[in-house]
Structure 1
């Protein structure tokens, strides 16, 4: 076998492979053995006609399709290995010569890992956000805990519906006097102010008492998903069955001992602060790494093969689908709800995939240039770290990581070592950032009248 190759551009090459005539003869014989059972020749039982008769009766060309497949599968991988190229996609194959008794010649055009020049990567000037944990952050976390441990209890008889209450209702909706699909519910729990129902539906329940009924009027939005009611006026007959309110525990030592392993509120606060500071440090480190790779990417010119971008989009869509599934939403349902299709979703991830692939290419090139490797001890330590995160006691996860996912582990270790090297050689400016909390939470404190 003889292989030559030429670069068509920075991300595509063309191989020309010449295979000896004898190999073609072998492939034709193999093709004959595979296909003879389907080829009938007069005077011979089915499947028993010799090769010479098949050639005379049908022509040798009848065996060429499979013969060429056999040769390609046997030689393309070896040609790739011999030339040292790194393909990122399937090749476009063109058969140049296929004639019995002559060499078999084919060309294969394929996209490969692109060649590019690395910029100066030592002395990068980057900003490192330093996230400051404040007392307000501690209070914010405590308010989550308080809300999580609140109890829902029915309001006393005669009490009125107020914002934040949970009402138990029966409702029956009509458009033009006719009931519509999804417009009816019994014993339905609706939190007032949650925005779960359209328009000012929830506001119209404020001031009602348990046992009362009322007809309320709303207008469906023009962009509402259900075609038959969008933009239309509707009436809802609503009956209040019960009004519930959340009762929140007092924020004291007793609360701390009930919701945590600590005896006092001060100890719980100290533990929360420690956790938040650890998270803040990790976030700060991640942002610094993102700024380092962005600084490099901005200085790097690289033509990215489309096959790599498409593969990146596939990965992102799989992750997106998993996140949707975790929320109980199927991709088909999401597409229906948002009026999108598979192509618009792919388009949505196009730019991010380009950025991700470019970053990965730069990281791979730097790891190779710096000769960064992962030792067995480092891989073990990384596996232990992941196992601890998932609380796997049996060690099955660790075994799987070290066997089936060894390549991913190596990437994690070598990438972390690369970022440590880049940070060590960078000019880093620290900038303090105080995290803003936009979501208001209930607290245990009653407002003074």
Structure 2
């Protein structure tokens, strides 16, 4: 077998791999000899089938396997001997194509872009600032008020007051289709918040303006996709008696409110809120520090980039930004989107930092554990309620999806490792200042 270099320009590489016909024939004979003792054919005892007949019967298939094995082996040996790591899957083309026949040498052209030599970075020279925000009394009080609003109660309104959006009406109702009551269409003393969307579309809106004591015929149509098939698409009339109209009243901020949210007392609830807020602040602070870290790393290293990676990344950036600017266009039947110089510049930064972090992680032996992958898949599966099992199976069969889930975990682990070795100073700031720093991330 012979491997001849035909191109070595920058990161671009091309080689001609020649597998002599004699080598292939020897490989076929070797595989047939290994299989012969177990082969049975009509008219021959097991293991006694002549080699010539075996070759005629199984030779073409084994020849194809031998060719693939020879080429794969040549590529493996090449990458081990040169130390090259291809940026993308190498392009492999067989010369001769359909004109090739048994007895000819196999000649293959292999081309790829090699990953660049990535320089060492002295991570101990990195200086980072970590923004610290404490959950002050004002922030905790604001969070408590929001909880009280979400746990609102309703109290009777003045007699004769008309119901409005956000009010609660207590009703008795009977639903009928073609004048006949249907199963599951009746209720008594039902508390319905107008605007909650808990009843079928069009129902709640017809109760705006009613008063206690009113009797109202609410006319609606069940949606075509309604869960109960015998009701789907049908027109119905609900005879409603309004028994009370109530207005919302935020819950009192006291121990009872705390118990509604699983805390033993108001003070315990405040402590939980404080911890949650500081965890949110810490997450935002990490995002700000990560951007600063990437900015510093980008200044510290420069190396050649595989053009194909940059081109692919620029295309993805341009495509994503186009859809961000055209949110109503959900499909991909749009005009060709050509990356600009700005897209290319951003792509170069992403590729450079991605390769650098990957190299640091490789040298530091950073790995994504099975448990971390399982957790990532579970988090993603929650976006598809009722289809979690199907999503798990999809991920198991899709290496590309697995890589999409693994990549951010790997990157975060590498970033954490770098931060551990950097000089980090803490700076206490206000919530507003942290918020401005987070908003600035989207402007870059």
TM-score by length of 1: 0.52
What is residue 288 of structure 2 aligned with on the other side? Answer: 287
1:213 aligns with 2:209: no
Conserved 8 A contact 1:85-1:112: yes
2: CA distance between counterparts of 1:361 and 1:257?
52
Query: What is the CA–CA distance in structure 1 between the aligned matches of 2:352 and 2:23, rounded to whole Å?
Result: 38
Unaligned runs of 5+ residues in structure 2 are 37-42, 176-184, 226-234, 321-326, 380-404, 437-444
Could you tell me which runs of 5 or more consecutive residues in structure 1 were left unpaired when the two chains were aligned.
37-42, 173-184, 218-224, 226-234, 317-336, 391-404, 437-449
Q: Structure 1 35/124 Cα, relative in aligned 2: closer, same or farther at 3 Å? A: same
1:109-188 equivalences under 5 Å are 109-113=111-115, 133-150=135-152, 160-167=162-169
**Match status 1:272 vs 2:273:** yes
Structure 1 residue 77: deviation in Å? Answer: 3.0
2:330 is aligned, of 337, 340, 343, to: 340
- 1:208-357 aligned at under 5 Å gives the runs 208=210, 209=212, 211-213=214-216, 239-241=239-241, 248-256=250-258, 259-265=261-267, 267-294=268-295, 302=305, 303-305=307-309, 340-341=330-331, 343=332
**Counterpart in 2 of 1:362?**
353
Measured after TM superposition, the shift of residue 24 of structure 1 is 0.9
Match of 1:80 in 2: 79
How far does the alpha carbon of each residue in 1:59-115 deviate from its partner, in whole angstroms, 9 at most, with x for none? x87865444233234443333333322235443322247776675432223455466
CA contact (8 A) 1:162 1:192 kept: yes
How far apart, in 2, do the equivalents of 1:280 and 1:305 lie? 35
Say whether 1:13 aligns with 2:3. Answer: no
Backbone CA RMSD of aligned residues? 6.6
CA contact (8 A) 2:92 2:108 kept: yes
Tell me what 1:39 maps to.
none
1:120 and 1:4 map into 2 onto residues whose CA distance is: 38
Per the alignment, residue 26 of structure 2 pairs with: 26
Query: Any conservation in 2 of the 1:170–1:239 contact (CA below 8 Å)?
Result: yes
Residues 271-302 of structure 1: CA distance to partner in whole angstroms, max 9, x if unpaired?
Answer: 42243124313311222212432565599674
Mapping 1:408-447, distance limit 5 Å: 412-421=412-421, 424=424, 433=433
- What is the distance in 2 between the residues matched to 1:3 and 1:212? 90
* Residue 420 of structure 1, CA deviation: 4.7
Go from structure 1 to structure 2 and tell me whether the alpha carbon gap of 1:411 and 1:119 turns closer, same or farther (over 3 Å shift): closer
Cα deviation for residue 141 of structure 1 reads 2.0
* Distance in 2 between residues matched to 1:122 and 1:415, nearest whole Å: 13
Q: Kindly state the Cα deviation for residue 251 of structure 1 after the two structures are TM-superposed.
A: 1.1
Question: What is the aligned counterpart of 1:108 among 92, 97, 110?
Answer: 110
Question: Is the 8 Å Cα contact of residues 24 and 100 (structure 1) preserved in structure 2?
Answer: no
Instruction: State the Cα deviation string for residues 354-392 of structure 1 (Å, max 9, x = none).
Output: 97996475254257469962699xx99x98xx9xxx9xx
CA distance in 2, matches of 1:120, 1:108: 36
Structure 1 CA distance for aligned equivalents of residues 82 and 261 of structure 2: 64
> Does the aligned pair in 1 maintain the 2:152–2:251 contact within 8 Å?
yes
* Change beyond 3 A, Cα 1:99–1:422: farther
Counterparts of 2:279 and 2:192 in 1: how far apart (Å)? 38
Counterpart of 1:328? Answer: none
Q: Give distance in 2, aligned partners of 1:407 and 1:207.
A: 55
Equivalent in the alignment of 1:94: 93
* Cα distance in 1 between the residues matched to 2:86 and 2:191: 57
Local SS of the residue matching 1:305: helix
What SS is found at the alignment partner of 2:433? Answer: strand
Separation in structure 2 between the aligned mates of residue 370 and residue 61 of structure 1, nearest angstrom: 45
Kept after mapping to 2: 8 A contact 1:114/1:305? no
Q: Is the CA contact 1:372–1:418 (under 8 Å) kept in the aligned structure 2?
A: no
Quick one: structure 1 residues 369 and 435, their matched pair in 2 at CA, closer, same or farther if it must change by over 3 Å?
closer
